[in-house]
Amino acid sequence: MESYGDLIAADDVLLFVNAAITATGQREFRSDADTQRLSLDFLHAYMLGNYRALYAGVLALDINDHNATLIVRRLLETAHEASAEQRVAEGRLIAGRLALLPPQRVYGLFGALRRSGVNNRRTRALLRDWLASRPDLAFDAVKYRAGLKRALRHAHLVPGGGEIGPFLFAPFSRPRYETPILEAWRRAHFEQGAVYELPYTVAEGFAARHGIPRAVFLERIAPRLTRLEALRLQEAGRRAKAGAVAADLSRMPLTRLAGYVLSLPVAERVARRAELTGALRAAAGRVAGAHRGTWGRVTAVLDDSFSSYGSGVKRRRPLAVALACHHLLEALAGGYRGLWTSGCQDALLAHPVGPTPLGARILDALETAPDRLVIVSDGWDNAPPGLAGEVLRVWRTRLDPGHRTGVVHLNPVYDAEDFDVRRLSASVPTAGVRDAEDVPALVEIAQFAAGRTGLAELTAYLDARARRLTGGGR
């Protein structure tokens, strides 16, 4: 039987997981960046100090990159406080997570460790192994030049490949390089044609140096763009009349694509309805995969109130998550209905407006007798306040005590004051969500919060995810 302390530990871990999924230390609709960072730093310190093994285990979950790097950094900075067994387990989790992080995040992480004076043997070994796993270190030497140089110096490593070391530390000591991308970088200093052989972020600086017109540059660099670079530059290319810069929307990640759609003027969304809706459904279908159509009857309550605007640095992010969830749930469901808080009937035209009448919309949703009710909202039920929680309480305790309808609340916004995502009801599980792509896994996690989850059960789940991350090792 679980002790009271174990139950508290399980609740603390679930609270931290919600924060690690949603919080990025940036301004939100109801709190500034400093408040967000202070709240998040406290949670990291609390978890590391009280539940080190569980804190490390969270690396195996679908947390955001910001919190993953914070966990790795804190574990490495406090390696002397861990037992030998903990260091082995942490090393495997860290290595597994580093392999999933974008390279710029990893280089930034090792830069932060350098500034903190962390240079122990384990840190050097992790960096060495991560660099050895990079598919093209010459590409990194060009695109992430400063970060790679700092990392190598800090860890006292000699880069593999005969040309990478001279390129990084004495780039003009050789008249030419055999490695094509290194040679392109050298030639780009005096030859405009070589600019278009480089990654976009590097080529952009050379284009400015050579005075290449923006429209010409965007048109010629288009084949070198990544999917996300193409998405960001599509509208810039159109304004510059460089029609060649066009993103293949059907291949874009679902939540990113939803954010892009919401950034377009309403008139353009209407004009491109078939293209945009098709792209969103294709992205949702890829995420649903083998689970497509297996969730039974699903009704979603989707928050498009004014607070779904987010903030200047996370513009329309909560609404983008809701729009992406709308299309994903449509793909997962056997039968689907989406209800927006504003009463909007056309998801493609959603925009942040009005109060948040969650209670009324939840009543409407329950009348459809779904197998699953999914609520995507920041949890600020204010029209009238508290109605959603009361509706859910009565439904769960009196009208559906047998749980014929599964209900889950997905919240894309971290509430810095409460150190958690805002909940609607104690009777309904709540999980933080950052990307709609993670919804199937988050619904699984949310079930741990349906009651007083035991620590043993939660630890077993973390262990299973850790084995998946590390390829079966413990």
Read off the tokens for 416.
Answer: 């810095």
The pLDDT of residue 231 is above 80: no
pTM of the model: 0.90
pLDDT digits (tens, 9 = 90+) for 320-352: 999 999 999 999 999 999 999 999 999 999 999
Q: What is the CATH number of domain 266-451?
A: 3.40.50
**Confidence band (pLDDT; 50, 70, 90) for 245?**
low
Q: Are 334 and 295 in contact (CB under 8 A)?
A: yes
Cβ-in-10-Å burial (0-12, 13-18, 19+) of 242 comes to buried
**Confidence band (pLDDT; 50, 70, 90) for 240?**
very low
* Range name among 109-113, 247-251, 409-413 with the lowest pLDDT average: 247-251
Read off the tokens for 40.
Answer: 């998040």
- Residues 298, 453, 469, CA angle at the centre, nearest 5°? 75
The pLDDT of residue 473 is above 50: no
pLDDT given at position 453: 56
What DSSP element (H or E) covers 200? Answer: helix 200-210
> How many CA within 13 A on the CB side of residue 124?
11
Q: Domain residue spans in the chain?
A: 189-247, 266-451
Q: Are 347 and 262 in contact (CB under 8 A)?
A: no
Q: What is the mean pLDDT of residues 257-261?
A: 94
> SS3 sequence, 233-272?
HHHHHHHCCCCCCCCCHHHCCHHHHHHHHHHCCHHHHHHC
Does a cis peptide bond (omega within 30 degrees of 0) precede residue 223? no
pLDDT digits (tens, 9 = 90+) for 174-200: 999 999 999 999 999 999 999 999 999
Q: Residue 390 and residue 402: Cα distance in Å, rounded? A: 18
**Confidence band (pLDDT; 50, 70, 90) for 474?**
very low
Q: 228: helix, coil or strand? A: helix
Higher pLDDT, 421 or 162: 421
pLDDT digits (tens, 9 = 90+) for 438-451: 998 888 777 776 65
